[in-house]
Structure 1
Amino acid sequence: ISNQQRRDKILDRFTQMYSPAIGTDLVMDYLGETGLEAMKGADILKAAPQAYSSSIEYADTLVARRLKGIAQIHLANLGTRIFYCDYGSFDSHANQLGMHANLWTDVSQAVGDFFADLQEHDAADNVIMLMFSEFGRRAHDNGSGTDHGSAGAAFVIGDAVKGGMHGEYPSQKAEDLQQGDMVPNLDFRGLYSTVLEDWLGLDAKPIVKGTYEKPQFI
Structure 2
Amino acid sequence: MPTSRRDFLKTSVLASSLLFVPKFLHALDRQGLTRMRDSNGRRLVVVQLGGGNDGLNTIIPYRNDLYYNARPTLGIKPQSGILTLEKDLGFNPAMTRLKALYDEGHVAVLNSVGYPNPDRSHFRSMDIWQSGSASDQYVATGWLGRYLDSNCPGCELPYNGLEVDDTLSLAMKGNVRKGLALKNPEKFHQITQNQLIAKISGEKANTGGSELDYLYKTLTETASSAEYLYQTSKVYKSGVSYPNTEFAKSLKTTAELINSGIESRVFYVSLSGFDTHVRQQEQQAKLLGNLSESLGAFAEDLQKSGEFENTLVLVFSEFGRRVSQNASNGTDHGTANNVLLLGGGLRQKGVLNDAPDLQNLDQGDLNYQVDFRSVYATVLRDWLRADDTVILGQEFARLSGLV
TM-score (norm 2): 0.48
Of 146, 153, 163, the match for 2:349: 163
Of 264, 280, 289, the match for 1:96: 280
1:199 pairs with 2:383: yes
Contact 1:71 1:117 in 2 (8 A): yes
More strand by share: 2
Which residue of structure 1 lines up, in the alignment, with residue 307 of structure 2? 123
For residues 237 and 202 of structure 2, what CA distance do their matches in structure 1 show? 36
For residues 154 and 169 of structure 1, what CA distance do their matches in structure 2 show? 12
Contact 1:57 1:113 in 2 (8 A): yes
Contact 2:308 2:343 in 1 (8 A): yes
Q: Which runs of 4+ in 1 moved over 6 A?
A: 3-6, 27-31
SS of 1:98's partner is: helix
More helix by share: 1
The one-letter code of the counterpart of 2:221 is: E
**1:64-103 map, 5 Å:** 64-103=248-287
The one-letter code of the counterpart of 2:229 is: L
Which residue of structure 1 lines up, in the alignment, with residue 331 of structure 2? 146
The count of aligned residue pairs is 212
Higher RCO, 1 or 2 (CA under 8 Å, sep at least 6)? 2
For residues 208 and 6 of structure 1, what CA distance do their matches in structure 2 show? 35
SS of 1:91's partner is: coil
The one-letter code of the counterpart of 2:287 is: L
1:38 pairs with 2:38: no
State which drifts further: 184-193 or 204-213: 204-213
Q: 1:30 deviation in Å?
A: 6.8
Contact 2:232 2:261 in 1 (8 A): no
Say if 1:182 and 1:73 are closer, same or farther in 2 by CA, change over 3 A. Answer: same
Summarize deviations over 1:99-130 as a string: whole Å, max 9, x none: 11111111111001001011111111100100
Contact 2:243 2:294 in 1 (8 A): yes
SS of 1:157's partner is: strand
Q: 1:34 deviation in Å?
A: 4.3
SS of 2:221's partner is: helix
The one-letter code of the counterpart of 1:160 is: G
SS of 2:285's partner is: helix
Contact 1:137 1:150 in 2 (8 A): yes
Contact 2:238 2:256 in 1 (8 A): no
For residues 40 and 103 of structure 1, what CA distance do their matches in structure 2 show? 37
Contact 2:205 2:213 in 1 (8 A): no
Contact 1:48 1:72 in 2 (8 A): no
For residues 271 and 247 of structure 2, what CA distance do their matches in structure 1 show? 6
Q: Percent identity?
A: 32
For residues 21 and 202 of structure 1, what CA distance do their matches in structure 2 show? 39
Q: 1:21 deviation in Å?
A: 7.7
Say if 1:167 and 1:215 are closer, same or farther in 2 by CA, change over 3 A. Answer: farther
For residues 148 and 21 of structure 1, what CA distance do their matches in structure 2 show? 53
Indicate the RMSD between aligned Cα atoms, in angstroms: 2.6
Summarize deviations over 1:13-53 as a string: whole Å, max 9, x none: 54279x5388527x887765444222211112222442223
Q: 1:153 deviation in Å?
A: 0.8
For residues 150 and 128 of structure 1, what CA distance do their matches in structure 2 show? 25
Contact 1:135 1:148 in 2 (8 A): yes
Which residue of structure 1 lines up, in the alignment, with residue 193 of structure 2? 7
1:105 pairs with 2:289: yes
Say if 1:65 and 1:77 are closer, same or farther in 2 by CA, change over 3 A. Answer: same
For residues 6 and 66 of structure 1, what CA distance do their matches in structure 2 show? 20
Which residue of structure 2 lines up, in the alignment, with residue 185 of structure 1? 369
Summarize deviations over 1:140-199 as a string: whole Å, max 9, x none: 1113111111101110000111212223333111xx211221011111010011111100
SS of 1:137's partner is: coil
Say if 1:28 and 1:190 are closer, same or farther in 2 by CA, change over 3 A. Answer: farther
For residues 187 and 202 of structure 1, what CA distance do their matches in structure 2 show? 19
